[in-house]
Amino acid sequence: MKLRNDLPPALKYQAVIIEDAARKAGLDFFDVVFELLDSKDVNGVAAYGGFPVRHPSWRFGMEYERLEKGRQWGLSKIYELVINNDPTYAYLVRSNSLMEQKLVMAHVYGHADFFKHNLWFEPSERKMLDAMANHSTRVRRYIDAFGLETVEQFLDRVLPLDTLIDPFLPRREQCHSPEARSTYSPPSERSLRTLDSLTAPALRVDAPVPASELAVEPRRCKLPTYDVLGFLEEAAPLEAWQRDLVHLARAEAYYFSPQRMTKIMNEGWASYWHSRLLTGGILEASEVLDFADCHSAATYCAPGQLNPYKLGLELFRHAEKCGEDIFRLRCVHNDVSLVHKLVDEEFAERFLRPLLGRPAAEASGAAPDWRSVKSACLQQLSWGGLPQIELVDADGEGRGELVLVHHHDGRDLSLGRAQATLSNLSALWKRPAQLFTLLEKQGKKLVAKGSDVSMVDTNEAEARCSAGGSDPKSPPRREAG
């Protein structure tokens, strides 16, 4: 374990004690580096996604303002922040009590174990702190070369597209398809190319960016694909520096994707272990009531709201009760596959039905059975909770238009966000972009020509938008671990 010199002796001592207890319990993790920060500074780190070295953007400033207002008004509080990295970095809040620090450190060791062993994190970049610093360096060089406004305007087009990726792609690259591995290089190789490119001479403000410096390893575009960002990186009519920024945005999107796919498991695993470790001898007798109050506040779930801490914790407790190997479960599953495997009638009635509130059928008097409740939960979690958008054609209407399909699973798109996304795609592609979807069971076709977005009714969308995807090589929506 690595300890920061600025940690007080009491926290250093507790970190050693809790790490020893975690390892004896079977947890295994990279070195954990704890840093102690004021609440305001923790919000600043959180606004950058846990990476204070990340490239500048007004979006991060807006997120910081939101977090700070929540803290000042007593609406929200960050107890800890931990990032998937080797070593694992965790930020402690200086104002927390000693009991809260113990809880947070035990919670962090649970996260660190999950990051290291869950297979959905296995393909992720383990030196992401260094990679983010390198990304920041590149963005700042482009700002010096082309101006802040130009770079920010382009990033404003690219960053909102960070959900247009295939969350299953890294696993297929790593384990299943040799053809996919030859088409899309893994994150580690992409990171090495980024690092290599940084050895080139520094840019001058008035100097153009040499195309050779920003060359991206050629890939073969294959449609249909869910990796829309990957397609744009390769095929969009972009300048070299713009293509590189798409590359960086895509790399960061794939880094954060496993966290979206395993939010319930990750928080549940960390909550399970902070509870077990602290009540197993870490707490002083005088701290038990305070711990119970803090733990119950973190796992409280209002009716109709899905709290990942609560649901994940109860899933692992239920698995242990049923005789399952919880260490294996945390290795091989994501949220969807774990819920699919573990939720039975008892669990669904006790935990899922209150979490999901009263569906329309239940409100009218016809309460759905537990399988319908489980299916509704799986629907919320599928594809990381995001809409499944597939790029099916890059020559729509024979005019080089992008054609995308929303594989509808019962959840309508947010029309405003869909229009903004399509507008950004059209701007990057420099030609119109089409999206087929269903809104209130009516087929719709959205067409973006730059910032102008129109929508018309169409029967074609109903055939295109059936959930599951048109690519025979793509995984099912609810792929098990």
Tens of pLDDT, residue by residue over 206-223, are 444 444 334 444 455 689
132 and 246 part of one domain: yes
List the domain range (segments joined by +) for residue 39.
2-121+262-299
Residues 148, 247, single domain; the answer is: yes
- Whether 188 and 151 map to the same domain: the answer is yes
Q: What is the distance of C-alpha 364 from the center of its chain?
A: 36
Please identify every stretch of the chain with a pLDDT value under 50, giving residue numbers as ranges. 5, 177-218, 359-364, 470-481
Query: 222 and 266, same structural domain?
Result: no
User: Distance (Å, rounded) from C-alpha 41 to C-alpha 32?
Assistant: 20
Domain co-membership, 226 together with 275: no
Residue type, 126: R
Predicted pLDDT at 11: 94
The Cα 353–Cα 356 span in angstroms is 5
| Residue 70: inside a domain | yes
Q: What is the pLDDT of residue 397?
A: 85
Instruction: Decide: helix, strand or coil at residue 31.
Output: coil
One domain for residues 68 and 190: no
Residues with Cβ < 8 Å from 370, sequence gap 6 or more?
Answer: 344, 345, 348, 349, 352, 353
Same domain, 21 and 113: yes
Same domain, 455 and 396: yes
Angstrom distance (rounded) from CA 199 to CA 287: 53
Single-letter code of the amino acid located at 462: E
Are 414 and 358 in a shared domain? no
Kindly report the pTM of this predicted structure: 0.85
Asked whether residue 184 is domain-assigned, the answer is: yes
Per-residue model confidence (pLDDT) at position 356: 65
On whether both 84 and 36 belong to a single domain, the answer is: yes
How many structural domains compose the chain? 4
Is there a domain that residue 229 lies in?
Answer: yes
For residue 156, report the phi and psi dihedrals to the nearest 5 degrees: -65, -25
**Rounded to an integer, what distance in angstroms lies between the CA atom of residue 90 and that of residue 113?**
13
Predicted pLDDT of residue 286: 94
- Domain-embedded: residue 479: no
Q: What is the pLDDT of residue 450?
A: 83
pLDDT at 471: 43
Residue 480: inside a domain: no
Question: What residue type is assigned to position 226 of the chain?
Answer: Y
Task: Answer whether residue 478 is part of any domain.
Answer: no
337 occurs within a structural domain = yes
230 and 345 housed in the same domain: no
What is the per-residue pLDDT for 172?
A: 86
Last-in-domain residue among 272, 299, 326: 299
Instruction: Give the model's pLDDT for residue 219.
Output: 52
Q: Which residue has the tokens 């790490």?
A: 19
* pLDDT in the model for residue 147: 96
**What was the pLDDT predicted at 220?**
55
In a domain, 166, yes or no: yes
* Among 424, 433, 430, 421, residue whose Cα is nearest residue 396: 433
Q: Which of 298, 304, 301, 310 is nearest to 268 (CA)?
A: 310
Q: Are 368 and 399 found together in one domain?
A: no
The distance of Cα 65 from the centroid of its chain, to the nearest Å, equals 21
Q: Which residues pair with 183 in a beta bridge?
A: none
